Amino acid sequence: NAGVMQNPRHLVRRRGQEARLRCSPMKGHSHVYWYRQLPEEGLKFMVYLQKENIIDESGMPKERFSAEFPKEGPSILRIQQVVRGDSAAYFCASSPGLAGGPGQETQYFGPGTRLLVL
């Protein structure tokens, strides 16, 4: 059973461009979580999604950031008009979605996408 896949692993963008980060959850998992980690800092929750539904986006910046998890295909984190401050590692995690809430499930993390904005 393959783990959580993220691609690309490294992404370089110039200021003003768009960045698209993809996350394929573990087989059978229907919940996806996105986190951001700035250099030398801890994980910061961004958004929690079920298929075709955003459950909690309280950690998402109000502008330029969006996330989706369609019925088919990977989850996408989209950052429009990137700025240098968006440079960070972005981690995706997935969980089965069979238990009650996220506090009752184990999250399985991908290797991350390292975004560098020039």
- Residues in contact with other proteins by the rule CB under 8 A: 4, 35, 42-43, 45, 48, 55-56, 89, 91, 93, 100-104, 106-112
The bridge status of strand 113-117 relative to strand 10-13 is parallel
**C-alpha separations of 62 from 30, 47, 49, 66 in Å:** 25, 12, 17, 9
Structure tokens at 62: 């109000």
Q: Residue 48 or residue 69: which is nearer to other proteins going by CB?
A: 48
- Please state the closest distance from residue 56 (CB atom) to other proteins, in A: 5
- Please state the closest distance from residue 2 (CB atom) to other proteins, in A: 14
SS3 label, residue 103: helix
Q: Residue 26 or residue 64: which is nearer to other proteins going by CB?
A: 26
